[in-house]
Amino acid sequence: MNIYVANLNYRVQDQELQELFEEYGQVSSAKIIKDHESGRSRGFAFVEMADDEAGMRAINELDGAEVQGRNLKVSKARPRPEMQERRY
């Protein structure tokens, strides 16, 4: 299950995020999205969990939870819309 995590404190690192979600089950990956130019966190991340049931438990428990002074917004990730062909 792919999980979207928003409202992250900019100091949270991938490893910390993974450890937070591992309390609910096996984490396949935890990736904080960073700005391409500055390398700073953009305040959101994606966590991939191996088991859907564990993923739903994590969503239910962590949505609204305070982590480093910020209340997380945690939900099931939606599929990315297909990129439309750009015309110049």
**What's the pLDDT score for residue 88?**
46
**What's the pLDDT score for residue 73?**
98
Q: What is the CA radius of gyration of the chain?
A: 14
Q: Which domains does the chain have, with CATH numbers?
A: 2-76 (3.30.70.330)
Provide the pLDDT confidence category of residue 85 given band limits of 50, 70 and 90.
low
The tens digit of pLDDT for each residue in 28-54 reads 999 999 999 999 999 999 999 999 999
**What's the pLDDT score for residue 45?**
97
Of residues 43 and 86, more confidence is placed in: 43
Cβ burial of 49 (10 Å; 0-12, 13-18, 19+) is buried
